[in-house]
Structure 1
Amino acid sequence: MLGIAAAVLFFVAFLINAAEITTNHAFSSGNVMLLGLTLLALHVAGIGSGWAGPRRRR
């Protein structure tokens, strides 16, 4: 789930950069890209990959 959110943020950063849209400093393409990298790192670390539920021991 976090990987999809990261891909969406990368696409938004690309659109901001390619269209040369002027935004305030909080939503610049670099900051949006860093948010995407943070989400991608969390996804690779295994956070947000889904709920595993309780496991039974035999």
Structure 2
Amino acid sequence: MLGIAAAVLFFIAFLINAADISTNDTFTSTNVMLIGLTVLALHVAGVGTGWGSRSRRR
């Protein structure tokens, strides 16, 4: 799920940069890209995968 969120954030950053949309200082394409990289790093680290220490009963 975090991988999909990162892809969406990268796409939003691309649209802001490609369309040359003027935004405020906190919502620039670079900041959105850095948030996407953070979410992607969390995804690669395994946060939010749901495969924790759950025991499976059969």
| TM above 0.5 | yes
Amino acid at match of 1:14: F
Specify the alignment match of 1:24 in structure 2.
24
Task: Report the TM-score, using the length of structure 1 for normalisation.
Answer: 0.88
Identity %: 73
Distance, in Å, in 2 between the alignment partners of 1:17 and 1:54 is 43
Q: How far is the alpha carbon of 1:49 from its aligned partner?
A: 1.3
Specify the alignment match of 2:49 in structure 1.
49
- What are the ranges of 5 or more consecutive residues in structure 1 without an aligned counterpart? none
How many equivalent residue pairs?
56
Give the 4+ runs in structure 1 shifted more than 2 A: 50-54
- What are the ranges of 5 or more consecutive residues in structure 2 without an aligned counterpart? none
Specify the alignment match of 1:33 in structure 2.
33
Larger mean CA deviation between 46-55 and 1-10 belongs to: 46-55
